[in-house]
């Protein structure tokens, strides 16, 4: 084999062994670079006669072109391989169904209920108040006439929070177990503003307070985080009759049903006296004929009125607390509370 053939053979093998463009450029330098083997042969011709130069020059050119052709082939092969690898990893299955264009997001069904509640009570002159989810013992229990040994205070029912460094540990912070602390928070702020105003008679307190609440509880109808809405109406002459009228009106509007009936079932809550559980019964639909509990309620206990900064001889009223998750389940016929908190779009998108 001539030198030139040997060079072409060796270039063929060297280029084939390259697996990246960078390797290939390095291999090219060995043959066609400044001191590559072919370049060296050309330099060596300087000393030859004209005839020899012509003959050998032509042969070297043939070899050089062969090496260049090999180089280009290998370049293309490497580019093809890179492209195929990229296509394989970014493969698109054009037979998959397309994604429908979505018109933005939507409100969670429980938030739809909250908006509805705010709208209905707003039309009856109720303000909407918001307050902290991390509460203290005073607002969540003591001010609401809930005694030290009340079972609602036990670790089984209430999530207690580690106090921050330096904070007192005798009454650890807790996640509010109901929205009732908002009765005290809102009323005391209202009373303070009234007293500062110098008005003789207090403008009525009429407020709802929707929000998240927490209890150690988890099954198909209980979730450790759930939603309540508190209601409070205090004035010089607000009675249980007003509670009945307001709540009946609310339920009929909320469920869009005029023949819905309500039952005020005697019950006990520390912060109301008398207290009642409110049940509703639909006349039509899958739940017709069953009593369904929707709220706790009652006439605000004199001790609670006092903790609002008011004289219970002069001011009286009612309060109620309803489960917004439960109202949502009843309105839409959802039978498992956990669906609200799974975040499954197949469920949630049905409410948009």
Q: Could you tell me how many residues make up the chain?
A: 352
Instruction: Please report whether residue 211 would count as binding ligand DAH according to CB under 6 A.
Output: no
Shortest Å, Cβ 314 to ligand DAH: 20
Contact 243, 260 (CB under 8 A): no
Shortest Å, Cβ 274 to ligand DAH: 10
How many Cα atoms within 13 Å fall on the side-chain side of residue 253?
Answer: 16
Q: Which helix (H) or strand (E) holds 244?
A: helix 240-254
Which CB sits closer to ligand DAH, 173 or 296? 296
Contact letters (x/-) for ligand DAH, 309-338, by CB under 6 A? Answer: ----------xxx-----------------
Which CB sits closer to ligand DAH, 67 or 238? 238
List Cβ neighbours of 122 (8 Å cut-off, separation of 6 or more).
128
Instruction: Please report whether residue 296 would count as binding ligand DAH according to CB under 6 A.
Output: yes
Q: Which of 298, 324, 325, 337 binds ligand DAH (CB under 6 A)?
A: 298
Contact letters (x/-) for ligand DAH, 238-277, by CB under 6 A? Answer: -------------------------------x--x--x--
Within a 10 A sphere around the Cβ of 313, how many other Cβ atoms?
8
CA 291 to chain centre: 34
Tell me the number of residues near ligand DAH by CB under 6 A. Answer: 12
Shortest Å, Cβ 290 to ligand DAH: 21
Q: Which of 113, 297, 307, 328 binds ligand DAH (CB under 6 A)?
A: 297
Which residues between 166 and 185 bind ligand DAH (CB under 6 A)? 178, 180
* DSSP 8-state secondary structure symbol assigned to residue 45: G
Within a 10 A sphere around the Cβ of 257, how many other Cβ atoms?
15
Shortest Å, Cβ 209 to ligand DAH: 10
Which residues between 133 and 162 bind ligand DAH (CB under 6 A)? none
3-state helix, strand, coil in the chain (%, to 5): 45, 20, 35
State the Cα–Cα distance between residues 5 and 37, nearest whole angstrom.
Answer: 12
Shortest Å, Cβ 287 to ligand DAH: 22
Which CB sits closer to ligand DAH, 158 or 275? 275
Q: Please report the sign of the dihedral spanned by the C-alpha atoms of residue 249, residue 255, residue 258, residue 262.
A: negative
Neighbouring-strand partners of residue 229: 210, 322
Return the CA Rg of the chain: 41
CA distances from 149 to 141, 225, 297 (A): 11, 24, 22
Structure tokens at 5: 């053939």
- The window from 15-23, 219-227, 296-304, 334-342 that contacts ligand DAH (CB under 6 A) reads 296-304
State the Cα–Cα distance between residues 314 and 310, nearest whole angstrom.
Answer: 8
Which CB sits closer to ligand DAH, 11 or 278? 278
State the Cα–Cα distance between residues 299 and 296, nearest whole angstrom.
Answer: 11
Shortest Å, Cβ 230 to ligand DAH: 6
Which CB sits closer to ligand DAH, 202 or 209? 209
Which CB sits closer to ligand DAH, 36 or 321? 321
Binding positions for ligand DAH, rule: CB under 6 A = 178, 180, 230, 269, 272, 275, 296-298, 319-321
């Amino acid at each position: 084999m001539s030198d030139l053939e040997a060079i072409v053979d060796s270039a063929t093998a060297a280029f084939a062994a390259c697996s990246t463009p960078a390797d290939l450029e390095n291999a090219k330098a060995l043959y066609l670079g400044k001191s590559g083997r072919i370049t060296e042969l050309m330099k060596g011709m300087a000393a030859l006669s004209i005839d020899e130069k012509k003959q050998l020059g032509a042969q070297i050119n043939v070899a050089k072109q062969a090496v260049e052709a090999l180089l280009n082939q290998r370049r293309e092969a490497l580019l093809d391989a890179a492209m195929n690898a990229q296509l394989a990893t970014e493969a698109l299955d054009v037979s998959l169904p397309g994604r429908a264009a979505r018109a933005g997001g939507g409100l969670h069904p429980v938030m739809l209920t909250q908006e509805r509640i705010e709208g209905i009570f707003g039309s009856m002159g109720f303000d909407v108040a918001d307050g902290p989810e991390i509460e203290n013992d005073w607002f969540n229990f003591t001010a609401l006439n809930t005694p030290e040994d009340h079972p609602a205070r036990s670790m089984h029912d209430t999530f207690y929070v580690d106090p921050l460094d330096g904070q007192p540990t005798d009454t650890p912070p807790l996640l509010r177990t109901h929205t009732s602390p908002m009765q005290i928070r809102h009323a005391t702020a209202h009373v303070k503003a009234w007293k500062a105003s110098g008005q003789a008679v207090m403008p009525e307190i009429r407020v709802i307070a929707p929000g998240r609440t927490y209890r150690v509880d988890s099954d198909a109808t209980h979730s450790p985080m759930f939603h309540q809405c508190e209601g409070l109406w205090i004035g010089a002459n607000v009675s249980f009759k007003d509670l009945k009228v307001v709540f009946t009106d609310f339920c009929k509007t909320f469920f869009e049903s005029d023949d819905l009936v309500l039952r005020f079932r005697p019950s006990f809550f520390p912060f109301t006296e008398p207290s009642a559980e409110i049940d509703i019964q639909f006349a039509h639909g899958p739940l017709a004929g069953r009593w369904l509990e929707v709220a706790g309620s009652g006439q605000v206990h004199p001790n609670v009125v006092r903790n609002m900064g008011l004289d219970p001889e002069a001011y009286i009223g009612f309060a109620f607390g309803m489960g917004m998750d439960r109202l949502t389940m009843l309105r839409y016929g959802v039978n498992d509370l956990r669906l609200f908190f799974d975040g499954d779009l197949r469920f949630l998108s049905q409410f948009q």
